[in-house]
Structure 1
Amino acid sequence: MSSINYTTRIEGQTRINTILWTVPNFINLLENRSCREFRTDKSKDHTMEIIESRFQLKMQFLGRDNDIIEIYYLSPNSVFLKSILTICLKRFEERSIVIKEYHTVHANKWQYLATLFKRDIASYDGRDIFLLSDGSLRLKFQFLVSNDIKIDRSNVFEAQLSNDIENLLHNGMFSDVTMKSLEGDEYKVHKAVLSSRSAVLKAHFEHNTTECFTNSIESPLDAEVLREVLTFIYSDKAPKVDEIPEKLLAAADYYQLSRLKGLCEEALHKKLTVDNAIETLQLADLHSAKILKQLTLEFIKDGQAKLITKTEGWAKVKSVELIKCIYEYIMADDAEADIK
């Protein structure tokens, strides 16, 4: 049974919620392949009012051997917060894992915070052991909830600014360039906005290019994808990222939109299965999606390799380099173990 130490303090207009989550015999928990999720328990030592006002935490274990650990939190209320995750080490040392700056979090909706790897938590070569001397894993969460009027107004201002800029895309007001989809659909857009968001689009207007003289850009993207890319450029939002992540990843790579690329990698990682692992790996390799490639290789290595070799995706693999990459990744730890 895990233990929770929950404290709160007020600094100015900010309530700082600090949670120490200690999970004993953590490696034994990971070795239990039937365990796919682990959550904090609601304490019975507090009134229901206090319980309901507290953050909840959970871990999800992925891979056949639970080699990937995703960490989530849930807020009981809609808040504007900054989140910090720290791992507690031996000799009272700490290491920050994730710091996410202030953003709006909706009530009672699990929020992804971080991904940990089993090999990093307890690497048997002794170089980087994240467990305490008694074998427990201790994570420190800090949720800084702000009631600062200035910060709230700033957040409202940013949201309003985003909406106002997005409206420029919808109404075409003061547009100075036309962008055409593969099918010929036209969008009235703005050089300043495009150039500030994409180095590729900026290059169209910096030199004596055809686009510079015609004020028209021919995009290789189909209308649905181009519309989503432009929505992201103008609003920093990608409403269809979970619907068409493969197409948007290619588009983000083409126009060098790194944040959109990251959103696509996260969406594709969530959809990862035995049947689509090879296609996902090929997609990640094609578009230099390094995080997605790493996570997919981890997924394949975690006891899924034999199953994946029986899929249609594996049967269609023609790249020797890709097969070599998978083989070397899977065999790496086995080779190290043999040497030891």
Structure 2
Amino acid sequence: MSNMNYTIRTEGQTKINTLTWTVPNFVNLLENKSTREFRTDKLETVGNVTGSRFQLKIQFLGRDNDIIEIYYLSPNPVFLKSILTICLKRFEERSIVIKEYHTVQGNKWQYLATLFKRDIASYDGRDTFLLSDGSLRLKFQFMVSNDIKVDRANVPETQLSHDFENLLSNGLFSDVTMKSAEGNEYKVHKAVLASRSVVLKAHFEHNTIECHTNIVESPLEAEVLIEVLTFIYSDKAPRVDEIPERLLAAADFYQLSRLKSLCEEALHKRLTVESAIETLQLADLHSAKILKQLTLEFIKDGQAKLITKTVGWAKVKSVDLIKTIYEYIMTDDIEADIK
């Protein structure tokens, strides 16, 4: 029996459907020559959303199920971008397919990707595409645009992000100056800052010093501040993989939720036994709930004993943090004993 986790969120004009599909004992499924197809059940939406959700299926081809094809079905005609990610051991992920925006028919199975048995069920101990319990976990993201009426085949890519980034770099029509902790000055625009950050918006809403001087003093160092401004203007974070810790603190300070999510993702990708405690402390400090959850799962997934031997563990002074780790690790064991 497979397990499906389904979430829907909206970013601007785009609705993002995220499906995490876990198929247990996948090797056994491959060895069963009578199995030619495996699919998710038809899932009805909940809340105020009408219609059915996306469905998924796997088809096994070849005499020995050597080829695995993956398909999806949309309940309605949509204009979408699709991303398929395979979840590996130790919470690593690998994007294996990215299909840019295109029109998809409703209620018709669409081909997405091909996997090979040799990569999934290698018998030399690698099991590259399987989790430690032998399950196959696939994550699908379907980014659906609200407008499917326009044929975008010959329409140039949007320049909005680029144009706003130029507005930052040339300072044209700027009406406020933002200063870094070292005193570096950046010519910026009240309307842009206020529309992106409620914290910056507050500087200009009331009878504040910033309103009178048109100068905003930031506690961030120049290296971090320019990255934050770049994100505010372009929605891009070029150095998020280089300085995710510092950007996470900055995103939390200015309440930039998307930048915060990007930082959490970057920190999750670089999670190791040595960095787990520091990452957990950082997540707790900046209320990064997703990163905290993922780090606790990483610790629980057979890493706890190794982590207690690290430098980070030796420096832990927070009793609450140790208590949190202990309670998270012990939860399933206690529930299992009760049952």
Q: Deviations over 1:184-241 (max 9, x none)?
A: 1000000000000000000000001111100000100000100000000000000000
Compared CA separation, residues 184 and 43, structure 1 to 2 (3 A): farther
How far, CA to CA, are the matches of 2:142 and 2:103 in structure 1? 6
Following superposition, the deviation at residue 25 of structure 1 comes to: 2.3
Q: Give the structure 1 partner of residue 169 of structure 2.
A: 170
Residue 25 of structure 2 aligns to which amino acid in structure 1?
Answer: N
Is 1:80 the counterpart of 2:133 in the alignment? no
Following superposition, the deviation at residue 162 of structure 1 comes to: 1.3
Q: Secondary structure at the match of 1:193?
A: helix
Q: Give the structure 2 partner of residue 312 of structure 1.
A: 311
How far, CA to CA, are the matches of 2:137 and 2:206 in structure 1? 55
Q: Give the structure 2 partner of residue 249 of structure 1.
A: 248
Q: Which has the higher contact order (CA 8 A, sep 6+)?
A: 1
Q: Give the structure 2 partner of residue 200 of structure 1.
A: 199
Q: Give the structure 2 partner of residue 182 of structure 1.
A: 181
Q: Structure 2 length as normaliser, TM-score?
A: 0.63
Q: Give the structure 1 partner of residue 25 of structure 2.
A: 25
How far, CA to CA, are the matches of 2:25 and 2:185 in structure 1? 60
Q: Secondary structure at the match of 1:293?
A: helix
Residue 62 of structure 1 aligns to which amino acid in structure 2?
Answer: K
Given that 2:87 and 2:139 are in contact with CA atoms closer than 8 Å, whether structure 1 keeps it comes out as: no
How far, CA to CA, are the matches of 1:262 and 1:309 in structure 2? 28
Following superposition, the deviation at residue 163 of structure 1 comes to: 1.1
How far, CA to CA, are the matches of 1:265 and 1:140 in structure 2? 18
Residue 198 of structure 2 aligns to which amino acid in structure 1?
Answer: A
Given that 2:308 and 2:314 are in contact with CA atoms closer than 8 Å, whether structure 1 keeps it comes out as: yes
Q: Give the structure 2 partner of residue 59 of structure 1.
A: 86
Q: Give the structure 2 partner of residue 114 of structure 1.
A: none
Given that 1:82 and 1:144 are in contact with CA atoms closer than 8 Å, whether structure 2 keeps it comes out as: no
Q: Secondary structure at the match of 2:166?
A: helix
Is 1:334 the counterpart of 2:333 in the alignment? yes
Following superposition, the deviation at residue 57 of structure 1 comes to: 5.7
Compared CA separation, residues 339 and 219, structure 1 to 2 (3 A): same
Which segments of 5 or more consecutive residues in structure 1 lack a partner in the other structure? 1-20, 30-39, 46-50, 84-117, 123-134
Compared CA separation, residues 168 and 153, structure 1 to 2 (3 A): farther
Given that 2:192 and 2:232 are in contact with CA atoms closer than 8 Å, whether structure 1 keeps it comes out as: yes
Q: Deviations over 1:245-286 (max 9, x none)?
A: 000000000000000000000000000000000000000000
How far, CA to CA, are the matches of 1:287 and 1:221 in structure 2? 15
Following superposition, the deviation at residue 182 of structure 1 comes to: 0.6
Q: Secondary structure at the match of 1:335?
A: helix
Q: Structure 1 length as normaliser, TM-score?
A: 0.63
Q: Give the structure 2 partner of residue 106 of structure 1.
A: none
Following superposition, the deviation at residue 81 of structure 1 comes to: 4.8
Given that 2:228 and 2:250 are in contact with CA atoms closer than 8 Å, whether structure 1 keeps it comes out as: yes
Q: Give the structure 1 partner of residue 44 of structure 2.
A: none
Q: Secondary structure at the match of 1:72?
A: strand
Q: Give the structure 1 partner of residue 264 of structure 2.
A: 265
How far, CA to CA, are the matches of 1:179 and 1:149 in structure 2? 40
Given that 1:81 and 1:145 are in contact with CA atoms closer than 8 Å, whether structure 2 keeps it comes out as: no
Q: How does 1:288-307 map to 2 (within 5 A)?
A: 288-307=287-306
How far, CA to CA, are the matches of 1:333 and 1:174 in structure 2? 58
How far, CA to CA, are the matches of 1:293 and 1:250 in structure 2? 14
How far, CA to CA, are the matches of 1:274 and 1:214 in structure 2? 48
Which segments of 5 or more consecutive residues in structure 2 lack a partner in the other structure? 1-20, 30-57, 64-68, 70-81, 105-130
How far, CA to CA, are the matches of 2:97 and 2:101 in structure 1? 13
How far, CA to CA, are the matches of 1:279 and 1:143 in structure 2? 33
Residue correspondences, number: 246
Q: Give the structure 2 partner of residue 8 of structure 1.
A: none
How far, CA to CA, are the matches of 2:103 and 2:220 in structure 1? 36
Is 1:228 the counterpart of 2:251 in the alignment? no
Following superposition, the deviation at residue 73 of structure 1 comes to: 3.3
Compared CA separation, residues 211 and 138, structure 1 to 2 (3 A): closer
Given that 2:224 and 2:246 are in contact with CA atoms closer than 8 Å, whether structure 1 keeps it comes out as: yes
Q: Give the structure 1 partner of residue 53 of structure 2.
A: none
Given that 2:200 and 2:254 are in contact with CA atoms closer than 8 Å, whether structure 1 keeps it comes out as: yes
Q: Give the structure 1 partner of residue 279 of structure 2.
A: 280
Q: How does 1:91-106 map to 2 (within 5 A)?
A: none
Compared CA separation, residues 25 and 237, structure 1 to 2 (3 A): same
Q: Give the structure 2 partner of residue 36 of structure 1.
A: none
Following superposition, the deviation at residue 320 of structure 1 comes to: 0.7
